[in-house]
Each structure stands twice: as C-alpha cells, then as structure tokens.
Structure 1
Amino acid sequence: MDRIASVEQFKEITNRDSFSVVKYYTTWCPDCKNLDRFIGDIVTEHADKQWFEMDAEQFQEIAEENEVRGIPSLLVYRNGQKVAHLHSKFAKTPDQVREYLNALPQA
C-alpha cells in the first residue's frame, strides 16, 4: 500500500476514474496495527482497486474535510468524490472490511 505524501498526490489519487481506497491511520493507533495484520489479504482480493494510506495527523485538514472521526477508517474515492466510508468501529475484522468493499458499486 503506497503512502500519500502530499495534498497534491491525494487530489490526483482521488480524482481517478477507478476506485481508490485510502486507509486513514496514525502511528500510535492499536486498531490500525490490528487492521494491518489482515489488510494485505484483502488488498490482494480487491486488486481492481488502488490502495493507499494516509497519516490522519499529518493531513489533519483532509481528514476533517472527509469526516474521519476515528481511525483506522477506509474511504473510497472515485472521480473526485468520496463514494464510501468505513468508520473505525466497523473496521475491526476482515469480514467487516470485506462486506464493506463488496457493497461498492461495480466499476
């Protein structure tokens, strides 16, 4: 999963015509570390999507604009729009994340 390093990169990624999944995290978050334990398999299963991660503290303004209230959160973007948002309390298990991704409209 590539790390977003600038506001410009975030804008470019989220404006793509394909689904871009952005994992909002922080370095101190225990639930983020738990998500990291199983997210690799899910990324492989959903190779049709582009995957990125963003430090919510480093990009606090973007996190606030996108209503990220808890971490980790998985947000999906397409054509400059947020199309889905998995809040932290629903991102605790592989099944929860898979169900969320499987509910996305087809590209």
Structure 2
Amino acid sequence: MDKLIPLHSLKEFEEAIQNRSIVVFSTEWCPDCLYMKTYIEHIVESNPAYRFYYVNRDDMLDLCIELKILGIPSFVAYDKGEELGRFVSKLRKTEEEVQSFIDSI
C-alpha cells in the first residue's frame, strides 16, 4: 500500500480532505484489508484525479467513530472538505466494486 499517503492526525486528515481525495480506512490485522493490498495500487494508478490516503482505524478510532466507519476496509471520497460518497460495509471489497464506487462519484 505504498501508494497510499498515511494520515496520522486529525489535522492531517482535515488538510487531506480539502483535495479531491479518497481516504481508505483499514488496519494491519484485518483479513479483508490484507486482501485489498492485492489491488489497491492498481486502483490508485487508474484514478489519477484523486489523491489516496490511508487511515489506520486502530490509531484514529475516535475519527472513525465520528465518521461512522464501522466496517473495514472502507473508502470515503472528499473534495473541498465535503464528503462526495462512501463505500462502507463490513464485507470484503473487490477491485471491481471499489472501481465502480469511484466511477459513481
């Protein structure tokens, strides 16, 4: 997940969402998050209109609770600080489903 820009603080998150961005909420231990690693770099490369960021849910749990990010991995799109859309569920997400979400924004 080298192509995702890690966010470590609320300030970094607030700055990141001012751009046309997609924030990926994930963890190191989640099997579905590990599966996402098989395709996330291709997703980033295929969508240059967005900057992609990574939030470790365990490190920023309060933010995730505030945003109602209950399942991981989850994808939330932003522009100018406003949420454009979200793909949040407790189910494993495929590359096709993630790309379809991005295409729908």
Q: TM-score, normalised by structure 2?
A: 0.90
Who is 1:59 aligned against?
60
Does 2:51 correspond to 1:20? Answer: no
SS, match of residue 54 in structure 1? strand
Give structure 1 regions of 4+ aligned residues with deviation exceeding 2 angstroms: 88-91
**Count of aligned pairs:** 102
Does 2:40 correspond to 1:39? Answer: yes
- The alpha carbon displacement at 1:78 in A equals 1.2
Gaps of 5+ in 2: none
Gaps of 5+ in 1: none
Who is 2:72 aligned against?
71
What is the identity, as a one-letter code, of the residue corresponding to 1:76?
A
Does 2:15 correspond to 1:6? Answer: no
Higher helix proportion: 1
Does 2:85 correspond to 1:84? Answer: yes
SS, match of residue 37 in structure 2? helix
Q: CA RMSD in A?
A: 1.3
Identity %: 25
Against the structure 1 CA distance between its residues 33 and 57, is the aligned structure 2 distance closer, same or farther, given a 3 Å change threshold?
same
Q: TM-score, normalised by structure 1?
A: 0.89
